[in-house]
Chains A and B, each alone.
Chain A
């Protein structure tokens, strides 16, 4: 009798995670069409290749757009063990920037949706863009999620080549982690089998245990009419079918049940946007070095606090669901076609937040005016928030007394959502002199030209980023904030005292922000300078040619990229027909106005800046003043 040598064939496994995603905002109809196309492609593949095992992750909002018949087909595939569904949430919550309760509600809603539509609760969670937060482990465990799938770039370099999964823990709670190689349609491996051979070959572990490598394939839901994203998937699945003897596809849950983890890895808070050279653990520094994202984030937190206070009440679930869309990570990441760097995207986020805020019961208390002193910017300093039922203004008295947000309730818009493109050296929510806000006050040399102001110029005053003291008033007719600063003006080589007081007021329930400036010269000599104040307005319709600037009988249409110089103006109006807003600026004295675009054609239109200028001559111990108002009203949208 011969000796039989029993050779065990150790399979190598591939967990293929298909992730249809949408970053951009688009209409439900288009989402449904794209989701159905994706569902059909997946169902077709699973039906054709009986040995195929696919892991799929999709936000709940896209899943619920799927056709009922397709859902039942996918349910069938799941029932026979060929498909595993993972979850990002109802949308794709940005864990690092969202309140814990909102992220939990988002994920829980997504899980319930998957259970309702597909018959089984998902066991795995995929943090969007591998935005990992160690503190989320407890939430995930509470919700019954057993594992997460993240990019392998979250692991230390020495561990990235290992084939399998790990355990991660934080403060006593642990969860399993599948590190994956992330691939897009444009950089997916041309030959899957070669890629797999390479991946398993790089594993330093030469034991005979079954090994697993994971590929996270991102395919855009908003693809064009062609078949491009599904082409790679089809060829990969064909390749897998041909090499079934060597590589088998597997579901994450199945591998988890049959194989132990490789060990323990501590994962720090991270975000993986495939940004070259980025250090993952410093992603917040990088992100907040962009303009506007911090303001949008603080605004989201403010509204979340308002909703959180009424969570016990009936009807609050609807508001929470609306917040899921604003919490979506795609609103807070800069990207070519989506994110806060695009005015339209930013505008949409603010609109959603304002709509939710107006539905809160606290809004009833705005009748007649409300003034709040709160740490809105979450930097330890207070902002002044003045509101009535029509308008809401946020004032930063610590940096120039500037108004950095102005909501018009009639159209649910933030009129001051203009942003300075580009990145700063350091992360800031507001950076005086760089952040696009309004009522930023300059003391400039007399006779300064607009062209000089756009380039290098000498700032004679210290009001741009100066700290203003403030007093608040509440009368029967409205609310008022009076800001005062004892500043200085450079005259010759010396600094001389110059006091500025500016008062903002909102009366009754009118959509009107009144402002009044008073400059006081307490020195024995006269002053001569140009006073300028900046207004930065966000008007998305202007960029689309749906806007107009009117000064007296003069009309300027399609002026998004024009530089316009106006003189002796007391009445100016800006209309945005896309948003449906008309902003009228009225001043008591004739002013010069320099109008120029914010942004560049390559980066995109970010808003329109109006610089109000006046020559000022103040004698010794004399005063100078300027009074005006911004009136906002809704107009017909076109």
Chain B
């Protein structure tokens, strides 16, 4: 049936929802797909990537639907990216190529994320007025990492020392208990002799001196 010709796969990773569409995208499917994609946004997903590489046909009413979705996502502070490079979809999106962020492949999108980090840094630098050269930035990064590393080493060493001390205390406690037991045992043995007057109790010995 034309209204159900498209296969949809939805999955997520690292906070991004990936939507894969495959098959012919007919006019009759636009409402159905719109409902599903809008539903994903309403579920709280703000970062969407839609892969259209396996779409074999695309009706002209499909790109405006994606435009609607883009407006919705951006209005909620999110982002929408499209991934395709096949001719059919490229032609359908040609009038909108400057509006949608379009990537030829998933790998290109991943590379873009790294460069986005870089761009973010530059943007913040302009806003705050803080300028830093690369060597200085690297030096600061190493310095901070070094602080953290030193802190971690100190904590590790201290924790090792504490464990040793605890072990020592345990051993001494055990030794003390054993010694007390032996002392009591010896006292018990000496008592009959004390009673017979053969041995002096310890306090009398001291007094005798």
Contacts and interface: CB of A to CB of B under 8 A. Distances in A.
Interface in A429-480: 471-476, 479
B8 A373 contact: yes
Contacts of B18: 365
Contacts of A474: 10-12, 17, 40, 43, 45
B166 interface: no
Interface string B53-87: 00000000000000000000000000000000000
Contacts of A65: none
A157 interface: no
B7 A375 contact: yes
B9 interface: yes
A380 B6 CA distance: 11
A472 B39 contact: yes
Interface string B1-40: 1001001111111010110000000000000000110011
A474 B37 CA distance: 10
A370 B11 contact: yes
Interface in A360-406: 365-375, 380-382
Contacts of B11: 365-366, 368-371, 474
B12 A373 contact: no
A382 B40 CA distance: 19
Nearest to A368: B12
Interface in B111-152: none
A632 to B, nearest CB: 21
B44 interface: yes
B55 to A, nearest CB: 14
A382 B3 CA distance: 10
B39 A473 contact: yes
B124 to A, nearest CB: 27
Nearest to B2: A380
Nearest to A372: B9
B8 to A, nearest CB: 4
Given A380-B1, A472-B39, A474-B45, A368 B13 contact: yes
Given A380-B4, A475-B43, A367 B13 contact: yes
Nearest to B33: A373
A370 B40 CA distance: 13
A94 to B, nearest CB: 25
A381 B4 CA distance: 7
Contacts of A367: 13
Nearest to A387: B11
Contacts of B13: 365, 367-368
B12 A374 contact: no
A374 B9 CA distance: 8
Contacts, number: 58
B3 to A, nearest CB: 10
Given A381-B1, A472-B36, A474-B17, A372 B44 contact: no
Contacts of B10: 370-372, 472, 474, 479
B51 to A, nearest CB: 12
Contacts of A479: 10
A365 B106 CA distance: 13
A380 to B, nearest CB: 6
Given A369-B12, A476-B12, A471 B39 contact: yes
A374 B7 contact: yes
Interface in A254-290: none
Contacts of A472: 10, 36, 39
Nearest to A471: B39
A312 B44 CA distance: 38
B17 A382 contact: no
B7 A372 contact: yes
B36 A475 contact: no
A396 to B, nearest CB: 13
B146 to A, nearest CB: 35
Nearest to A474: B10
Contacts of A374: 7-9
A351 B43 CA distance: 35
Contacts of A373: 7-9, 36
Nearest to B21: A373
A476 B12 CA distance: 8
A370 B9 contact: yes
A229 B106 CA distance: 60
A599 to B, nearest CB: 35
A473 B43 contact: yes
Contacts of A368: 11-13
Contacts of B15: 476
Nearest to A384: B8
Contacts of A366: 11
A475 B39 contact: no
A479 B11 CA distance: 9
Contacts of B7: 372-375, 382
A17 to B, nearest CB: 45
Highest count of chain B CB atoms <10 Å: which of A371, A372, A474: A474
Interface string A581-594: 00000000000000
Interface in B169-209: none
A480 to B, nearest CB: 9
Contacts of A370: 9-11
Nearest to B39: A471
Contacts of B12: 368-369, 474, 476
A383 to B, nearest CB: 10
Nearest to A479: B10
A375 B5 CA distance: 8
Contacts of B39: 471-473
Contacts of B45: 474-475
4 shortest A-B CB distances, which residue pairs?
Answer: A370-B11, A373-B8, A374-B7, A372-B9
Given A365-B13, A471-B36, 16 more contacts: A366-B11, A368-B12, A369-B12, A370-B9, A371-B10, A374-B7, A375-B4, A380-B4, A381-B4, A471-B35, A472-B36, A473-B39, A473-B40, A474-B17, A474-B43, A475-B43
8 contacts: A368-B11, A368-B12, A380-B4, A382-B7, A471-B36, A474-B17, A474-B40, A475-B44
Interface of A: 365-375, 380-382, 471-476, 479
